[in-house]
Structure 1
Amino acid sequence: MVNTLPCGHPGRAGSLRLCPHLAVEEPPPSTRHLTGVGTRYDLVCAECTPAALVDVCEACADRADQQSFPSGWHGEPEVLVRDRDLGGAWSTRACPVRPLNDDCLAPMPGHWLALTAEGFVRITDDDQWLVGPVELPEETYEDIRDIPDRPRRGLHTSRDGRFAAVVSDYGQFATVVDLDDWLTVLDLDRDWMDNELTRYPLAFLGDGETAKVVAATDWNRLDVFALPGGELLTDRETAAPQKDEPEPEHYLDYFQGALHPSPSERWLVTDGWAWHPVGIPLAVDLAAWLDGDRHAAEHARHLADRDDTWDTPIAWLDDNTVALQDTDGVELYDAGTGRRTGMFAGPAGRMWGHGGLLYVAAEAGLEVWDPAEGVRVGFLEGFTPIAHREGTFAELRNDQLRTWTTPR
């Protein structure tokens, strides 16, 4: 005999408990009450207390979790730590190269590229040399908020190492350089509207004959360009609405932010925001966009409402699972469905995904997390890398290049 649960349905109980008012087709708003075990929580509506919670079936629990728009937390999460010896290989050598900031060291095949006050510098295992200078236009500080250390330079490199981009993070301009021929192949301008709140949206795609760059060409628009010629591949109409007229079908009222392509470049997550303001990471079907769906970038999948949180670390764990960091830890989302698939407390700092694990450059050192269990499994005290290349992490400071490579 199958037991009937308090929600009125038979079957297995879901992974969280609810007050009875939430076990309905259209649940009211709720708050999350942490249980003290990891990040497990229950849902409670405004009329109830945790004493009223009941077990419900998996379908009712899932519907309430997805549709009751939980906001706010009660209690504290449990940070799970089970550190073990990480092994791996270390290397340290003298390297008197000084990047402009921690966003100005980027991976190249077999080596690194730094952006310094003098320009691009190539860094190998035993040498470094100046490639040449690069400049961006002066910013036009119209209607800009006075935020310290903004704008500032950032560096991006293509997978094959042929192209590099210097961007004005929290600013207006970017330029793409062909390092093989030492030519500027593309100058970009996203206008000045509230750009001091987001990093410059830019990411390289493909390599060799398929090389491309996707970047912001306005505050609310992304475009893709072929390289090295710079041909626009995404010509389309995205006009703003006229006064007292409804918004056009393909108008996007959204401030684009940092771009994060998935490993196979099927998806592109953009870390942007919308009024009033609220952080809303979007997942663009990049494959469909490049295959002829002209407005895929304007009709991206909504991953989460993050209140006033955006411009935080993001990393891909595999080609569908993206990790979004906020002040409480990390939430995992499936880019294809938009559903949250996990969450855990603890990580705080720049993130990289590699081999199914999450690597976090925390203030005290490099942390290694197992997202499947939500557990920290390793810690390298005092090592705070600023770049990653295929399992090798690099720290460049105090005139030393220090790297750690994960076990093969």
Structure 2
Amino acid sequence: MVCEINPVAETALERVSIQLPRTGADASNGRPAPRDEHPRLLVSDQQDLLAVVIDYGRYGRVYRADTGECIQELDCGDYYSSMTPFGAEFTTVHGATTLIHRTDWNRLDATVYDPDPRPLTARADPVESAASADTRFQDYFVGNIALNTDHTRVLTDGWIWTPVGAQRAFSLPAWLIDNPWESEDGASLWRRNDPTEDWDYPLCWIDADSYATMGRPSDIFREEDEPQPADTVSIVNISTGVEATFLGPEPLRIPGRRTLFHARGHLLSVEPDGLSIWRLSDGSLAHHLPGLNPELVLGGANRIVSPSGDTCIILPLPEL
């Protein structure tokens, strides 16, 4: 059952019943699944569509929000799909609800609903061949995706062999309007310079150009006698390539769950003993709310949403 939350009135209304996608369809090529499958709910900006994807699984579904009717089955393939979240996010294109979603281990596509599903990024699969030297083939396992604050960039968090974590970004308008290959080798494609030890770390966009992410540099470049680096939070500016370490937060790392948020010039970090709110201007601690572990921060509504058993707690953010 999907419920609609009114954060201002602090009420919830049962809205529609839906049938969840299938689970247990990927055996990771004979290897034990590294992380448990679990469903994740997405709601379109216009609240006309819902989607449920199975993080660390293969399948998803798109539904009409008013009736619960399933209008599209999603499938990201069975090649190591249990290693990453099912990358999917809603946006709006020319007034129509659009879903960006993974359709294979190394491929994203976009589907517009006007009102029925229609592909926006149809293209052939690139060929993996040394002879063809196809630069469109990416040996990159797409995981979580996130849209920047004005929905002009798509950030992807995934991995490459050996394996190490890797983050990439590209222009959303260029991909949807000019070049369906923009996500593979377009002019706007940006790659973070240094790989990380793992992937699916906490991250969130701060503005149109910068995002905050947690991570630890990969040890493939570390000398044997060098100490193991610690997890740190970095502010990464895609336009300039500059990265700055943010010393305050120590967010929990919970696979498939958001633990970093941005609201009104502050970075919110879900930590072992509660929620910390940090000033982006100087990195200082503005507030600490012990015992609070929200799964959603509604910056525009100035509310924190936190599940507690079978209930949902809605609290106002402190004055920022």
Aligned counterparts, 1:1-400, within 5 A? 119-124=1-6, 125-129=10-14, 131-142=16-27, 143-147=29-33, 150-206=36-92, 209-227=95-113, 228-242=115-129, 245-299=131-185, 300-326=189-215, 328-349=231-252, 350-389=259-298, 390=300, 391-400=302-311
1:308 aligned partner, one-letter code? E
User: Does the 8 Å CA contact 1:202/1:213 hold for their aligned counterparts?
Assistant: yes
Instruction: Indicate conservation of the 8 Å contact 1:222/1:297, yes or no.
Output: yes
Tell me how far 1:398 sits from its aligned partner: 3.3
2:168–2:192: 8 Å Cα contact kept in structure 1?
Answer: yes
Q: Which amino acid aligns with 1:133?
A: I
Question: What's the secondary structure of 2:117's corresponding residue?
Answer: coil
Q: How many residues align?
A: 289
Q: In the TM superposition, what is the alpha-carbon distance from 1:255 to its structure 2 partner?
A: 0.2
Q: Gapped runs of 5+ residues in structure 1?
A: 1-118
Q: Distance in 1 between matches of 2:30 and 2:4?
A: 34
Distance 1:304 1:372 in 2: 25
Alpha-carbon deviation of 1:347?
A: 2.5
Which residue pairs with 2:221 in the alignment?
none
Q: Secondary structure at the match of 2:47?
A: coil
Q: In 2, distance between residues paired with 1:375 and 1:144?
A: 47
Per-residue Cα deviation, 1:130-161 (whole angstroms, up to 9, x for no partner): 51132213432341532465122111111222
- The answer on whether the counterparts of 1:283 and 1:301 sit within 8 Å (CA) in structure 2 is yes
Amino acid at match of 1:301: W
CA-to-partner distance for each residue in 1:5-56, whole Å, 9 max, x for gaps?
Answer: xxxxxxxxxxxxxxxxxxxxxxxxxxxxxxxxxxxxxxxxxxxxxxxxxxxx
In 2, are the aligned partners of 1:158 and 1:207 still within 8 Å (CA)? no
- Using structure 1 for the length normalisation, give the TM-score: 0.66
- Equivalent AA in structure 2 for residue 197 of structure 1: M
Preserved contact between residue 277 and residue 307 of structure 1 (Cα < 8 Å): no
Give, in angstroms, the shift of residue 251 of structure 1: 1.0
- Tell me the distance in 1 between the aligned counterparts of 2:296 and 2:19: 21
CA contact (8 A) 1:320 1:335 kept: yes
Structure 2 match to 1:15 = none
Q: Hey, what's the Cα distance between the residues in 2 that align with 1:354 and 1:323?
A: 12
Mapped to 2, the partners of 1:211 and 1:170 lie a distance apart of 25
Q: Name the SS for the 1:290 alignment partner.
A: helix
- In the TM superposition, what whole-angstrom CA distance separates every residue of 1:96-138 from its partner, at most 9, and x where no partner exists? xxxxxxxxxxxxxxxxxxxxxxx32334433432511322134
Q: Secondary structure at the match of 1:137?
A: coil
Relative distance call for 1:248 and 1:224 in structure 2 (3 A) is same
Q: TM-score, normalised by structure 2?
A: 0.83
Which residue identity is paired with 2:25? T
1:302–1:338: 8 Å Cα contact kept in structure 2? no
CA contact (8 A) 1:120 1:134 kept: no
The question of whether the paired residues in 1 share the 8 Å contact of 2:26 and 2:82 is answered with no
Letter in 2 for 1:365: G
TM-fit CA distance, 1:339: 2.8
Name the counterpart of 2:256. none
Decide whether aligned partners of structure 1 residues 400 and 137 sit closer, same or farther in structure 2, where only a CA change above 3 A counts.
Answer: closer
**Partner Cα distance (1:343, 1:247) in 2:** 40
The CA distance in 1 between the partners of 2:30 and 2:197, in whole Å, is: 19
- Do the aligned partners of residues 149 and 308 (structure 1) sit closer, same or farther apart at CA in structure 2, a change above 3 Å counting? closer
Indicate conservation of the 8 Å contact 1:122/1:131, yes or no: no
Distance 1:245 1:331, change over 3 A: same
AA of the residue aligned to 1:139: G
Paired amino acid for 1:320: D
- Helix, strand or coil at the partner of 1:291: helix
Structure 2 unpaired stretches of 5+: 216-229, 253-258
Change (3 A) 1:281 1:172: same
Segment drifting more, 199-208 vs 388-397: 199-208
Residue 204 of structure 2 contacts residue 260 of structure 2 at CA under 8 Å; is this kept in 1?
yes
